[in-house]
């Protein structure tokens, strides 16, 4: 979380910094700021809110200088105010930071005793103070930043500029990601190489614990292998698509939802060719480890590993799994699942598993990410870049890839023959048409949403994979509609949650007409009997069996219960989006959230 960008390119950099920050805004949009260094010294501009607000500040009062750093913030310590916005500066040193300085309180006490005064509530403010102290103690710029990395505990990626050296940026990282690039006109630093799209050239990721200095023409790495690592530069791949980034849609979320049929087809095709699936097949148990929507994708696909492949499958929340000290069997495989490939807890699981000598597996959507580099075997979903904070096409792509993996494992374990495997995979691929039909139900879901728009709470029910769909649907509504939406396994209703049902409360029931349909319908009847407003998502057979029970019944496409459940996920994306839009909310940038959760 938090996006860092820096440029040293011999030209006035303020506009370039702000344009580049826009590409990093998915990492946080609580505040933004830049620091430019030039003949006039250090010049800072900061504003709470999104980058557009900073752009407005800078438009009327542009700082001059050809070297600068920039930051878009997701607040961890201190409210999202102007004063807490980065960069933070002290004694001619300005710093932008991504991560958490865990021992910031102790560091503030130490520095306060030395006469330093702090003006923000942030952990990050200690960084320019330490660097300035190290400079006063006689260290050069790089040494001062390297020493700061030693003093500050926790995860950090940082970039610093100096009033007394207006020709350089010094950068460092431990834990949080940071990459540097060299193009024809200068040197750049960014939290995410995607921001280099606008500069071209070549880039490389900083190694953990590495410090580097960006001059106008080059990047100098500290450490013995500084020269050797020059061979590890990769070309910046410039995007082919120009024009309207939302392609005519009202939001990135709308665009990304519409891309689901293609994302599904591409991912099924790629997963059919994933190398190394036999390593999963040799396992005696699998743990899928993830956070948020990725966790629900694992939950939705679990039955395929268990029923088809005969492989016991646990689904684990990464932040719990890593600290639980659970017992893994000798041949158990841990598969980490992540859209961004940057989620701190999921990444930590990979790193901790590697340190324990286990082979590590990841399924990730972002090819240039920390997890793709960290895992021994990384498979890629092929959903394309997702910008809206709510996972949509990446969720369905994860489900697609997991089901292909499960089927291929089933084949490798001799549970299905090659013919049945191919038929099943073809059937799975053809679900892209069903997804298209579901997308055509937007108007229907918009009208279903109108009954919810003024409600502060909602309940979602389902069983088996449909429970995972209910969880994912409820998360979407919480995240972008700010509605207290809770999902329960329908069988759990009578164990407590039913006490919350009162007249008018919306309850969404996901019930494909499978062997569990009658049981789920009983739960629907129980909430209806207590006055709930019932929205039933089912197929044609289910709708016929439910009759007039629900206040609103949406008939979903899908040839079997599994397909109907996939369709329900998309219908629930529409439901959340239309509720959020009716409330006038920004579906792409919901409050308090960021696209990548790079802090624990």
Residues that bind ligand M6R (CB under 6 A): 291-294, 338-340, 343, 346, 389-391, 475, 479, 597
Alpha helices (H) along 90-167: 104-113, 126-136, 141-151
Q: How far is the CB of 537 from ligand M6R (least distance, A)?
A: 19
- Closest CB 403 distance from ligand M6R, rounded Å: 17
State the minimum distance, in angstroms, from the CB of residue 504 to ligand M6R.
27
Contact of 384 with 259, CB cutoff 8 Å? yes
The answer to whether 575 and 510 have CB atoms below 8 angstroms apart is no
Q: Return the number of the residue (498 or 593) whose C-beta is nearest ligand M6R.
A: 593
- Tell me the closest approach of the beta carbon of residue 577 to ligand M6R, in angstroms: 12
Nearer residue to ligand M6R within complex by CB, 116 or 589: 589
Catalytic residue set: 2, 595
Q: Residue 250 or residue 592: which is nearer to ligand M6R going by CB?
A: 592
Letter string b/e over residues 338-366, b meaning 16 or more CB atoms within 10 A of that residue's CB = bbbbbbbbbbbbbbebeeeeeebbbbbbb
Would you say 104 or 577 has its CB closer to ligand M6R?
A: 577
* Cβ-based nearer residue to ligand M6R, 289 or 532: 289
Name the residue nearer to ligand M6R (CB basis): 221 or 296: 296
Q: What is the DSSP letter of 500?
A: G
SS (H, E, C) 197-227: HHCCCEEEECCCCCEEEECCCCEEECCCCCC
Q: Element (H or E) spanning 523, and its range?
A: helix 517-529
Q: Which residue is nearest to ligand M6R (CB)?
A: 292
Q: What strand order describes the sheet that includes 154-162?
A: 88-90, 93-101, 154-162, 165-174, 211-214, 219-221
d(C-alpha 308, C-alpha 305), whole Å: 6
Residue listed under structure tokens 């501009």:
45
To the nearest whole angstrom, how small is the minimum distance from the Cβ of residue 294 to ligand M6R? Answer: 4
End-to-end CA, the chain:
10
Closest CA to 479 of 386, 347, 391: 391
Least distance in angstroms from the C-beta of 48 to ligand M6R: 23
């Amino acid at each position: 979380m938090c996006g860092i960008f820096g440029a040293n390119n011999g030209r006035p950099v303020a506009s370039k910094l702000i344009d580049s920050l826009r590409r990093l805004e998915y990492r946080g949009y609580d505040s933004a700021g830049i620091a430019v260094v030039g003949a006039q010294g250090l010049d800072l501009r900061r504003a709470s809110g999104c980058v557009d607000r900073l752009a407005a500040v800078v438009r009327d009062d542009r700082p001059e200088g050809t070297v600068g750093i920039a930051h878009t913030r997701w607040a961890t310590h201190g409210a999202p105010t102007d004063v807490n916005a980065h960069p933070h500066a002290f004694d001619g040193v300005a710093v932008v930071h991504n991560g958490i300085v865990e021992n910031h309180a102790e560091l503030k006490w130490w520095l306060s005793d030395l006469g330093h005064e702090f003006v923000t509530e942030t952990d990050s403010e200690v960084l320019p103070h330490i660097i300035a102290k190290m400079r006063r103690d006689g260290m050069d710029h790089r040494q001062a930043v390297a020493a700061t990395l030693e003093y500050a505990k926790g995860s950090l990626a940082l970039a610093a500029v100096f009033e007394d050296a207006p020709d350089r940026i010094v950068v460092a990282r431990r834990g949080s990601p940071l990459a540097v690039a060299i193009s024809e006109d200068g040197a750049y630093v960014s939290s995410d190489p995607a921001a280099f799209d606008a500069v071209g050239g070549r880039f490389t990721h900083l190694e953990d614990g590495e410090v580097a200095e960006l001059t106008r023409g080059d990047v100098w790495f500290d450490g013995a292998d500084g020269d050797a690592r020059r061979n590890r530069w990769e070309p910046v791949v410039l995007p082919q698509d120009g024009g309207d980034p939302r392609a005519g849609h009202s939001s990135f979320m709308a665009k990304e939802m519409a891309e689901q049929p293609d994302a599904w087809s591409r991912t099924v095709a790629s997963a059919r060719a994933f190398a190394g699936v036999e390593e999963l097949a040799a396992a005696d148990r699998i743990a899928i480890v993830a956070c948020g929507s990725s966790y629900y994708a694992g939950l939705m696909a679990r039955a395929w590993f268990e029923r088809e492949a005969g492989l016991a499958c646990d689904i684990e929340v990464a932040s719990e799994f890593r600290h639980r000290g659970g017992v893994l069997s000798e041949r158990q495989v841990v598969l980490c699942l992540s859209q961004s490939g940057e989620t701190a807890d999921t990444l930590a699981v990979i790193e901790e598993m590697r340190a324990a000598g286990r082979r590590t597996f990841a399924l990730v959507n972002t090819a240039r990410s920390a997890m793709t580099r960290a895992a021994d075997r990384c498979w890629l979903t092929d959903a394309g870049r997702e910008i809206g904070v709510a996972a949509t096409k990446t969720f369905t792509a994860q489900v697609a890839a997991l089901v292909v993996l499960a089927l291929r494992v089933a084949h490798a374990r001799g549970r299905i023959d090659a013919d049945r495997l191919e038929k099943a995979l073809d059937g799975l691929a053809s679900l892209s048409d069903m997804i298209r039909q579901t997308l055509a139900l937007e108007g229907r879901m918009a009208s279903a949403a109108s009954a919810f728009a003024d409600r502060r709470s909602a309940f979602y029910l389902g069983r088996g994979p449909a429970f995972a769909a209910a969880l994912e649907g409820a998360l979407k509504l919480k995240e972008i509609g700010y509605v207290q939406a809770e999902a329960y396994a329908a069988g759990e209703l009578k164990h407590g949650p039913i006490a919350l049902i009162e007249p008018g409360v919306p309850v969404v029931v996901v019930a494909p007409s499978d062997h569990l349909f009658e049981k789920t319908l009983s739960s629907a009847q129980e909430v209806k009997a207590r006055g709930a407003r019932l929205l039933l998502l089912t197929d044609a057979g289910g709708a016929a069996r439910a009759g007039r029970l629900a206040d609103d019944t949406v008939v979903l496409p899908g040839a079997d219960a599994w397909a109907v459940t996939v369709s329900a996920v998309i219908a629930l994306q529409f439901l959340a989006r239309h509720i959020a839009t009716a409330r006038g909310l920004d579906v792409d940038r919901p409050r308090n959230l960021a696209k990548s959760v790079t802090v624990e």
